[in-house]
Structure 1
Amino acid sequence: MDTKRKLLGEERRLQLLQILQSSDRPITGSELSKQANVSRQVIVSDITLLKARNEPIIATSQGYLYMHTANKTQNYERTVACHHEPSRTEEELNLLVDIGVTVKNVSIEHPIYGDLTASIMVSSRKDVQQFLTKMSETNASYLLELTDGIHLHTLSASSEELLDEAEAVLKKANILVE
């Protein structure tokens, strides 16, 4: 039996916030639930409450990530339009991370629901593999499947030149929509 003290309410949310703020990598809900000695569902509720307080927490395929303001000011961002079959997702993501670009999210314009955006936050081949494994294990569909392959990515990089290179690489691979 676990003798670790269960953290309650606001005390637990403050601890979760401190854990996320001090981490430079995403942390899964399961990891957070073990640290707080509560269920994963309690963590999901706590994260929702923290987000409602405008804490910059995002859910990625690798776990929860606190978006530090300093990180945002150092990076340049650009949204690019892409078109490809689901089978080319790994190629597309690897092309981008290989040149030092982070793929923050994917967005589509759904005819009923409007704009749908999902966080990806991949910046290495390892991240790409984790994302693809999770997609496969959960038998989830890619958002681009709802729009015949057309989708947007928000890209983040340390310079405009890297973003220009990202567009050039996608264009060469016939993925970029101009």
Structure 2
Amino acid sequence: MKLTARERRNELIRILQKQREEPITGSHLAETFKISRELLTQDMALLKAGGHPVLATSHGYVWRGAPNDRQYKRIIVCRHSPEESQKELNILVDHGITVKDVMIEHPVYGELTGHIMVKSRKDAACFVNRMEQEQATYLMELTGGIHLHTLEAPCEDDFDAAVKALDEAGILVKPD
């Protein structure tokens, strides 16, 4: 039985809510519903416009429902070259940190954010490899290496250790 567009979007919500922790690729979802990636992208845009907390990351789609109260968030400022990206991400994930996004302040567009959701060394390697394969430009290249990250961790102490390690690596930008 073929689903109507509304039924398909309801089923997308159910799948995303069930798979909260790990992103689901658009290709997988399109294949599951036997629809094109273009139609899936349209469905996701309609869900977002309807107020559903769907997030498109570099690893796939994630349901951002009710936040986990046991997680702490912090925003940090970093500066480094694109070649040091994996080093930065590895330092963070080695301290139990999830790197939710990367942000820059663009002089024309204002704040630009890329949702990356890096939780492990494997995620970090995949992100950096994909940037290389796609010959993509890191956002930080638009701002001389300056960028921000929203971080998430299960305890405040994890942040302190990670920030110290970034500082020792010469990556952290500290307030004056």
TM-score in same-fold range (> 0.5)? yes
Please state how far the C-alpha of 1:110 moved relative to its aligned partner.
0.4
2:48 to 48, 51, 55: 51
Please state how far the C-alpha of 1:129 moved relative to its aligned partner.
1.4
Once residues 82 and 137 of structure 2 are traced to their aligned partners in structure 1, the CA distance between those partners, rounded to angstroms, is: 9
Runs of 5+ consecutive residues of structure 2 not aligned to the other structure: none
Q: Is the 8 A contact 1:6 1:38 kept in 2?
A: no
Q: Is the 8 A contact 1:94 1:128 kept in 2?
A: yes
Once residues 85 and 70 of structure 1 are traced to their aligned partners in structure 2, the CA distance between those partners, rounded to angstroms, is: 32
**Deviation by residue 1:108-157 (Cα, 9 ceiling, x = unmatched):** 00011111011010000111112112212211110000000000000000
CA RMSD, aligned part only? 1.0
The answer to whether structure 1 residue 21 and structure 2 residue 13 are counterparts is no
Shift in alpha-carbon separation, 1:137–1:6, aligned structure 2, 3 A: farther
Give the aligned partner of residue 122 of structure 2: 126
**TM-score, scaled relative to structure 2:** 0.95
**TM-score, scaled relative to structure 1:** 0.94
DSSP 3-state at the match of 1:26: coil
Please show how residues 74-89 of structure 1 align to structure 2 within 5 Å.
74-89=70-85
Q: Which amino acid aligns with 1:48?
A: A
Runs of 5+ consecutive residues of structure 1 not aligned to the other structure: none
Q: Which amino acid aligns with 2:72?
A: Y
Runs of 4+ in 1 over 3 A off after TM superposition: none
Once residues 91 and 16 of structure 1 are traced to their aligned partners in structure 2, the CA distance between those partners, rounded to angstroms, is: 35
Please state how far the C-alpha of 1:55 moved relative to its aligned partner.
1.4
Aligned length: 173
Give the aligned partner of residue 143 of structure 2: 147
Q: Which amino acid aligns with 2:12?
A: L
User: Percent identity among equivalent residues?
Assistant: 49
